[in-house]
Amino acid sequence: MTQRSTLKTLIASLLFTPMISVASTTLVTSSANDGPGSLREALASGADVIEIDESVGTIFITETLEYTGFVALQVVGTGQMIDGSGLTDNLAPIFEVSNGADLSMFDLSFDGGGGYDYFNPGGGKGIFVNVPEDRTGVVSLKLTGVSVYDVGNHGIHVSDCSLGDDCGGGSGGGGEGSPASIDVKLVDVLVDGAGFGKQDADGVRVDDRNDGDIFFSAVNSAFVNVGADGVELDEGNDGSVFLEVRNNVFYANGAYCLPWNDDPVEGAPCDDDGDADVDDGFDVDEAGDGSIEGFVRNNYVVDNYDEGLDFDEEDDGGFDIVLASNVAVGNEDEGVKLSEEDGGSIHAMLRSHYSEDNNGSREGIEIEEEDGGAVTVVVTGSDFVGGDDEVLKIEEDGGDGGTVKVRGSSVVLDLDGIDMNY
């Protein structure tokens, strides 16, 4: 082969070989709010990988750190705190992805300054991902070693809903959204003290308002001292919710409008007929035909102001869920509640569950099917402390019946429309 023919072959191979995308990386070397070497400058640079040098200390900002790009962004910290207590707009988020780009973030903390309550409202979000209505595919948020402290609004929020902050929380699935699914993965994440600046502000909130699904994974994470739900997943249309939730702590969430160790605040917006509208450790709402499926295991669900785990499906979808090795103690309402309000069925496995002093030692777990659809529950190796008071309540109100099988467990059953399978 001649040199010329060899060159032709090389050129042809280059022309017809797909181009390999090479990540563009920039280094943050300054803790300043803006200017050369700052995180703000890096976000505007077009780089899709941002690394923060270990020499950079706390980053004090006065405006939201906003990423307006469309390509996936990776931000790699080395333990820095991003301090948003000095934001000139008190209601602005600390960090925002405005066009629904995928975001991965490592080893960073966000601090909103705190000091919020019913009498001193305000404060923005920690991390906010806005999903535009024309987004397709899957919107991905992956956080590893990330903490959010003392923001007044949601700690972490992914919103695929035209109603913005009015989405969810009693809006009944209203609002429009994109066809995209949402995939959230949290590893070694802490949300502490969020949500005391407004009603219904959660530690983590995911809103989806079209046919896409919600995929939610939380591992080795903690959601504590949050004003509303520690985590709320709000699927308001026909998509399903898929869960992998293990080795987490949901502690003391839902107290907004409840002064610590006191009665509800009279006249507060969340005070209804003298009863405070408090929230849960972990709340999942699926309003369409989709289902709630997955694994919830090895979690501590303790001292939340309403239910510990509260999963609701409002249409023809059902449940296919495994609850394994969870500890539910001292929650003001049920430790675990599964509710299906339409024609879907409930398939639940309860394995090695520990329940004590929930709902005033009345109901440790409640599983309820309110319309057509059968209920199948298997309980193994579980312990409900409190004798006749800490019960497992299972109801099927639509006439389709159901069965419960109990093996190697200390549990008192309260059954309605359900048969025992010995």
Q: How far apart are CA 371 and CA 373, in angstroms?
A: 6
The full length of the chain comes to 422
What is the three-class DSSP state of 209? coil
DSSP code for 253: -
Please say whether the beta carbons of 148 and 110 come within 8 A: yes
Residues 6+ apart with CB under 8 A from 249: 221, 222, 223, 224, 299, 300, 302
> Identity (one letter) of the amino acid at 168?
G
Q: How far apart are CA 418 and CA 422, in angstroms?
A: 13
Low-confidence ranges of the chain (pLDDT < 50): 10-11, 14-15, 17, 19, 170-171, 260-261
pLDDT at 14: 47
| Chain position carrying tokens 């209601």 | 91
DSSP code for 370: -
- 23-317: CATH architecture: 3 Solenoid (2.160)
Q: What angle do CA 24, 29, 32 make, to 5 degrees?
A: 115
Burial class (CB in 10 A: 0-12, 13-18, 19+), 88: exposed
β partners of residue 348: 321, 377
Nearest to residue 200, comparing CAs of 136, 277, 267? 277
Q: How far apart are CA 219 and CA 106, in angstroms?
A: 15
pLDDT at 118: 83
Please say whether the beta carbons of 341 and 369 come within 8 A: no
pLDDT at 388: 59
pLDDT at 390: 73
| Chain position carrying tokens 């969430």 | 253
User: What are the φ and ψ backbone dihedral angles of 183, each rounded to 5 degrees?
Assistant: -120, 115
Q: Where are the domains of the chain?
A: 23-317
